[in-house]
Amino acid sequence: MIEENVMTTELTGNWGAQFAACLRLMLVSAVILCVLYPLVILAVGRTFTPWTAAGSLLLNERGQVVGSAQIAQAFTRPEYFWPRPSVVDYAANATGGSNLSPAGDALRERALESLKSLEATPQRKVPADLVTASGSGMDPHITLKAAHWQAERVARARGLEPSDVVELADSLAETPGGVLNSAPLVNVLKLNMALDHLSGTIDAGSMSAPLEQGR
């Protein structure tokens, strides 16, 4: 009986020590992972990539934020380049795709609606990214081919030469995919801001008018 009591006491003491050790480990891990690690990452980002760490914000000449270079916006007026379709209506707090089957009728119908809004014709094949949404619904880029496809409409709406609009798009082409994807892309918001500079229709890139939220 005495031996059993001693064993029970030892087990109880070991359990208490183990619990205390686990609690200390949890607290230390929480401090490291939830406090120190985020602060280190934030400091590194602020030091080496301050613009990206701050949200990649684009400012007009008045110093006003007009958007982020990493988030698409809903441009719908003919004098502006349009981004890829978005199934979340360009809501940054609700990113996501449609999860529709490529073989389903729903995706086909949505693509046909996009073709209709683009006023596509059999003679002019529309680039795929203008009728298909991305997985996030917030891609800020379109392909350079998609920009060229829209250049005629934009130039006509602004009274510009199509060649000037194409040249502007070419000057802003970039390859954010690097060696993994060398296809040239154009940031739609940057392109539209530069377009306002070119045409002079709005106060030097103020972008106060084109930020529509519906078509």
Q: Does residue 89 lie in a domain region?
A: yes
Indicate if 149 and 180 belong to the same structural domain. Answer: yes
Q: Does residue 84 lie in a domain region?
A: yes
Q: pLDDT at position 143, please?
A: 92
Indicate if 43 and 62 belong to the same structural domain. Answer: no
Indicate if 140 and 183 belong to the same structural domain. Answer: yes
Percent of the chain topping pLDDT 70: 83
Q: Does residue 210 lie in a domain region?
A: no
Indicate if 142 and 64 belong to the same structural domain. Answer: yes
107 Cβ contact partners less than 8 Å away, ≥ 6 residues apart: 98, 100, 101
Q: pLDDT at position 16, please?
A: 73
Mean pLDDT of the residues in the chain = 79
Q: What domain range includes position 77?
A: 55-97+134-205
Rg (CA), the chain: 27
Q: pLDDT at position 3, please?
A: 52
- Amino acid, res. 42: L
Q: Into how many domains does the chain fold?
A: 2
Chain segment 45-88, per-residue pLDDT in tens: 888 888 777 778 888 777 788 888 888 888 989 999 999 888 77
Indicate if 31 and 72 belong to the same structural domain. Answer: no
- What is the value of pTM for the model shown? 0.72
